[in-house]
Structure 1
Amino acid sequence: MTTNEELDPLINDPSFKAEAHARYVGLRDRGPVQRVRQPSGLDLYLVLDHELARVALTHPDLLKDPEIGRAGLDAAGVLNYQGRGQGLGSNMLMADPPDHARLRGPVARAFTPRRVEELRPRIQQIADELVDAIDAKAAAGEAIDLVEDFTGPLPVMVICELLGVPLDAQADFRAWTLAAVSGGSATPSVEQQQGMLALNAYFIALIAAKQAAADPGKDLLAALIRVNREDEEALSEEELLGTAVILLVAGHETTVNLLGNAMAALLDHPEQAELLRERPELLPGAVEEFLRFDAPVDQTPLRFAACDVELGGVLIPKGSALAVSLAAVGRDPSLATNAADLDVTRTDGRHLSFGHGIHYCVGAPLARLEGQIALGTLLRRLPSLRLLGEYTDLAWTVGGIMHGPQALPVEL
């Protein structure tokens, strides 16, 4: 067993994000678990192997509780948001059993396949309206950016309607979330702090208004408030706020990147796009391929070793931080034939882009539906879509755990 003391270069710097897949290959060649250092100064163990990732994501001694790794976090100067209304708060994504089940249960009931399918007509309507607006911009000779004009607004509109957020706040939510998740530094920028505080402040006011109403509505946030009225121990005020914030952030930013990564890949592989136009029945499987080929979440949120843990022959000392590179494991050569290639007809592709175990993404059915509708609509209605410039010149997210294009300039 090795302690893997050698540190690899920074893994979240801008150059890494732009070259992530090639550099993950180099990391994996050195072993399936590598000790790396983030720009924040935090040392962590990064899992690059698919099967070991499944083990790590369900390991009973690799937990979400940051207090386990407090010494390392403090030594690196990693910001610890303290107090209600400042960070992501108490939510199911950051909880361990038994709290996890209590926090996840009320939310999971809103994301059953049947309930998600009921959203299909509305998602299709949003997609068509956004394409109508793109057509109008093209006719007027205006520049088109698929991230700004389609892949960004569609998921935020869907999750805001699901949560019961008024239409006039949706543009603000997109800006606040972009700022809040652009982390990667021990000392967050003013914009990051303002984005996080703005998200919390808005939901504090919205929750208070719904709680004061005799009928809070029929949306998901209203449903969570009703649960609390019936069971005072269901969610604390802090947990209700944290749940609202994480649903907004995770419920749309991941899908923004799923759609952006997929369209970037299709614009770079026009033969694959043409295949989907000719055979739209391939779309459900193609969405899974896009999730595998270019995971919207580059690395999982941190876990911490509650005791010494052995993983892939590497000793993870007690208190150490660990993450799984979902981007790397999606292209693990042992996972699929020609794993580095995009193939929308692939039937042997598996991925962990929605996670694994108790933290499997509760919104996966919704993300899949949005992916199928959004991509199908773009391919059908904008058949001559072409990337302006080269794929290699695209700017990608910087810092944080997300991965997606910052912009997709196109012409019809």
Structure 2
Amino acid sequence: MRLDPADPAFSHDPYPYYGRLRDQGPAARVELANGTHAWLVTGYEHSRAVLADPRFSNVPPQRAGRPKPSSPAQRARACLAQHMLNTDAPDHTRLRRLTAAAFAPPRVDALRPRIEQLAAGLVTELTGRLTAGETVDLVDGFAFPLPILVISEVLGVPEADREALREWTYRVGSPADALPQGAVDEAWVLLHTYVTSLIAEKRKTPGEDVFSALVRSSAEDGLDDGELLAMAFLLLFAGYETTMNLLASASLRLLTHPGELTAARRDPDARWAAVVEETLRYDSPLEGATWRRAAETVDLGDGVEVPAGDSVLVVLAAANRDPAHFPDPDEFRPTRYLAAADGKRAAPHAAFGHGPHFCVGSRLARMEAAIALPLLFDTPLDLRLAADPMDLPYRPGLLVRGPRRVPVTIQAT
């Protein structure tokens, strides 16, 4: 079954394709659009098993894909790809320890007042534009600026740079076939240049931010210049992409499921958290985990063997729609994450991964959504989706997923 991640129809609704793969067994070997092959894991149990199995390495092969001549873009990409998601223990353990402290629960919880302030300011701005009769895109006006403002403050990134960074990270996270020729290569070079200059500035004028802390600790923790640049890139990219897609998808689901919005308004203490969890399951902001490589031949059961050296992708979005663990998985139903009479809830979703590479920023993403969504939807404005949801474009690729725009207006009185 050939897979083209740049196909707009697939990007909009990949779930029927993933369902057919899931029916084939623990993993299915597919042909990708670039002519290579990979194993896709789409079931819940096998996804969690692969993510926790050290026989599947996160270290990319030295010569992955088609041979390419050396270029500034290739060198920039190779440098920024040295981040911890592309490492195994013990390097991964060392690198993760440096970032885990920055996203420890007390530090994340201390951000709540600032997140509330930023979200309220954005809602006020949106309200003014909507009441003036504008059609507003909730992605550009809300889902993107909030997480990029938050992570910019945490990391120490100047606010003035956020639009350029959004464009560059969008490009490097998308299939090259979905963009104009050269756009991805240009973005890798621009990102490398930017991160290099930012780290140099932190060395010269350190602050109290995470990037400054990484610069200060790089020598004592054995973090070389390449790892430092890659760490900065990863934290920047992952720091807003997941939350942006979470906010955009949750907004779209509430606009198309008004009954769920009404229920959340009536019981905010329980329902908003359930909306966030169900969105993470139903519209996984991370479509797939990082690519893995079988370090040895692995028997996944049911007659499926992944040969040593083969590429493997755990599809988190598919695992979260596995009917064996989520009844009626293609229905948006936040009540599945409310405690039932017997105290049971739905199975934990896999939106943030599993095992040693579980997302260190999951607590921050959840908190931003739990703060921002009630502020957006608890206004007196009667928000209405200003487009057919079937016509909304989605981000292409297998890494991150979310609507590229969610246009809204208010009900005329």
TM-score calculated relative to the size of structure 2? 0.91
Q: Is residue 293 of structure 2 the alignment partner of residue 304 of structure 1?
A: yes
Q: Is residue 248 of structure 2 the alignment partner of residue 248 of structure 1?
A: no
**Range 106-115 or range 176-185, more displaced:** 176-185
Distance apart, 1:228 and its partner CA: 2.0
Corresponding position of 1:276 = 264
Distance apart, 1:221 and its partner CA: 0.5
> Aligned match of 1:336 in 326, 345, 353?
326
**Range 140-149 or range 343-352, more displaced:** 343-352
For residues 75-154 of structure 1, the aligned pairs below 5 Å read: 82-84=74-76, 88-154=80-146
Distance apart, 1:58 and its partner CA: 1.1
Distance apart, 1:399 and its partner CA: 2.5
Q: Secondary structure at the match of 1:74?
A: coil
Letter in 1 for 2:251: M
Corresponding position of 1:358 = 356
**Range 279-288 or range 119-128, more displaced:** 279-288
Q: Secondary structure at the match of 1:66?
A: coil
Task: Say if 1:184 and 1:330 are closer, same or farther in 2 by CA, change over 3 A.
Answer: farther
Distance apart, 1:322 and its partner CA: 0.4
**For 2:212 and 2:360, how far apart are their aligned partners in 1?**
18
Overall identity of the aligned pairs, in %: 39
Task: Say if 1:398 and 1:76 are closer, same or farther in 2 by CA, change over 3 A.
Answer: farther
**For 1:264 and 1:161, how far apart are their aligned partners in 2?**
27
- 8 A contact 1:13–1:39 mirrored in 2: no
Q: Is residue 293 of structure 2 the alignment partner of residue 293 of structure 1?
A: no
Corresponding position of 2:43 = 49
- 8 A contact 1:81–1:87 mirrored in 2: no
RMSD (CA atoms): 2.2
Task: Say if 1:339 and 1:186 are closer, same or farther in 2 by CA, change over 3 A.
Answer: closer
Q: Secondary structure at the match of 2:312?
A: strand
Distance apart, 1:201 and its partner CA: 1.1
Letter in 2 for 1:285: A
Q: Is residue 408 of structure 2 the alignment partner of residue 407 of structure 1?
A: no
Write the deviation string for residues 256-292 of structure 1: whole angstroms up to 9, x where unpaired. Answer: 1111111111111111111111111122232111101
Gaps of at least 5 residues in structure 2 are 338-344
Q: Secondary structure at the match of 1:367?
A: helix
Corresponding position of 1:4 = none
Aligned residues: 399
Letter in 2 for 1:296: P
Q: Secondary structure at the match of 1:395?
A: coil
**For 1:200 and 1:34, how far apart are their aligned partners in 2?**
35
**For 1:101 and 1:189, how far apart are their aligned partners in 2?**
37
**For 1:266 and 1:343, how far apart are their aligned partners in 2?**
11
Corresponding position of 1:264 = 252
Q: Secondary structure at the match of 1:73?
A: coil
Task: Say if 1:263 and 1:269 are closer, same or farther in 2 by CA, change over 3 A.
Answer: same
Distance apart, 1:89 and its partner CA: 2.9
Corresponding position of 1:191 = 183
**For 1:11 and 1:407, how far apart are their aligned partners in 2?**
19
- 8 A contact 2:288–2:399 mirrored in 1: yes
- 8 A contact 1:28–1:48 mirrored in 2: yes
Distance apart, 1:76 and its partner CA: 10
Distance apart, 1:104 and its partner CA: 0.9
Q: Secondary structure at the match of 2:139?
A: helix
Q: Secondary structure at the match of 2:54?
A: coil
Task: Say if 1:46 and 1:179 are closer, same or farther in 2 by CA, change over 3 A.
Answer: same
Corresponding position of 1:378 = 376
Distance apart, 1:183 and its partner CA: 2.2
Corresponding position of 1:3 = none
Corresponding position of 2:391 = 393
Q: Secondary structure at the match of 2:29?
A: strand
Corresponding position of 1:176 = 168
Task: Say if 1:318 and 1:12 are closer, same or farther in 2 by CA, change over 3 A.
Answer: farther
Distance apart, 1:167 and its partner CA: 1.6
For residues 51-66 of structure 1, the aligned pairs below 5 Å read: 51-66=45-60
Task: Say if 1:162 and 1:106 are closer, same or farther in 2 by CA, change over 3 A.
Answer: same
**For 2:125 and 2:79, how far apart are their aligned partners in 1?**
35
